[in-house]
Structure 1
Amino acid sequence: MLLSQMKTEDGSLRVIARAGTETFEVSGAESVYALACECAREGVPLAAKIAALGLGCAVDLERAYEEGRLFNPIHHPDPAHLHLTGTGLTHLGSASTRDAMHQSAREEEALTDSMKMFNMGLEGGRPAIGHAGVQPEWFYKGNGASLVAPGADLVSPEFAEDGGEEPEIAGIYVIGAEGTPFRVGFALSNEFSDHVMERRNYLYLAHSKLRPASIGPEILIGDLPQDIRGTSRIRRGSEVIFEEPFLSGEANMSHTIANLEHHHFKYGLFRQPGDVHVHMFGTATLSFAKGVQAEPGDTFEIEASEFGLPLVNRLSVATIPVEETCRVHAL
Structure 2
Amino acid sequence: MRLIQCLYQNQPRAALVEDNDRVRVLDTDTYHLASRAISHGRPLAEMVESALTDTRLDYQTLIDEKRLLPPLTHPDPAHCLVTGTGLTHLGSADTRASMHAKTQIDDSELTDSMRMFKLGVEGGKPEPGEVGAQPEWFYKGDGDCIVAPEDDIPVPSFAQDAGEEPELAGLYLIGEDGTPWRVGYALGNEFSDHVTERYNYLWLAHSKLRACSFGPELLIGELPEHLEGTSRIVREGTTLWEKPFLTGEANMAHSLANLEYHHFKYANFRRPGDVHVHFFGTATLSFADGIQTQGGDRFEIVLDTFGRPLRNPLNTDNAPDTVTLHSL
TM interval, shorter chain, is over 0.9
Query: For the residues of structure 1 that align with 2:51 and 2:148, how far apart are their CA atoms?
Result: 26
The secondary structure found in structure 2 opposite 1:322 is coil
Query: For the residues of structure 2 that align with 1:206 and 1:73, how far apart are their CA atoms?
Result: 26
1:314 and 2:313 correspond: yes
Letter aligned with residue 2 of structure 1: R
Matched-pair contact (CA < 8 Å) for 1:16–1:23: no
Matched-pair contact (CA < 8 Å) for 2:184–2:220: yes
Query: For the residues of structure 2 that align with 1:305 and 1:248, how far apart are their CA atoms?
Result: 13
Query: For the residues of structure 2 that align with 1:233 and 1:54, how far apart are their CA atoms?
Result: 35
Unaligned runs of 5+ in 1: none
- Alignment coverage as a number of residue pairs: 327
- Partner residue in 1 for 2:210: 211
- Cα shift readout 1:4-55 (whole Å, capped 9, x = no counterpart): 11113x42322110135564334422x1001101111111111111112334
- Cα shift readout 1:294-324 (whole Å, capped 9, x = no counterpart): 111100000100101100001112532222x
Shift of 1:56: 2.0
Matched-pair contact (CA < 8 Å) for 2:120–2:135: yes
Matched-pair contact (CA < 8 Å) for 1:121–1:136: yes
Change (3 A) 1:262 1:222: same
The equivalences for 1:150-299 within 5 A come to 150-299=149-298
Letter aligned with residue 265 of structure 2: K
Shift of 1:291: 0.8
Matched-pair contact (CA < 8 Å) for 2:13–2:27: no
Query: For the residues of structure 2 that align with 1:306 and 1:102, how far apart are their CA atoms?
Result: 29
- Cα shift readout 1:246-288 (whole Å, capped 9, x = no counterpart): 1111111111110000000000011000000000000010000
The secondary structure found in structure 2 opposite 1:183 is strand
Q: 1:33 aligns with which of 31, 46, 62?
A: 31
- Give the percent of matched residue pairs that are identical in Structure 1 and Structure 2: 53
- Cα shift readout 1:218-270 (whole Å, capped 9, x = no counterpart): 10000111111111000011210111011111111111110000000000011
Matched-pair contact (CA < 8 Å) for 2:25–2:56: no
- Partner residue in 1 for 2:68: 70
Shift of 1:176: 0.2
The equivalences for 1:96-175 within 5 A come to 96-104=94-102, 105-175=104-174
1:56 and 2:75 correspond: no
1:95 and 2:93 correspond: yes
Q: TM-score, normalization: structure 1?
A: 0.96
- Partner residue in 1 for 2:324: 327
Comparing 273-282 and 107-116, the one that deviates more: 107-116
Comparing 104-113 and 255-264, the one that deviates more: 104-113
Letter aligned with residue 81 of structure 2: H
The secondary structure found in structure 2 opposite 1:243 is strand
The secondary structure found in structure 1 opposite 2:196 is helix
- Partner residue in 1 for 2:3: 3
Change (3 A) 1:320 1:20: closer
Matched-pair contact (CA < 8 Å) for 2:27–2:53: no
Query: For the residues of structure 1 that align with 2:187 and 2:100, how far apart are their CA atoms?
Result: 31
Comparing 240-249 and 45-54, the one that deviates more: 45-54
Q: TM-score, normalization: structure 2?
A: 0.96
Matched-pair contact (CA < 8 Å) for 1:83–1:278: yes
RMSD across aligned positions (CA): 1.3
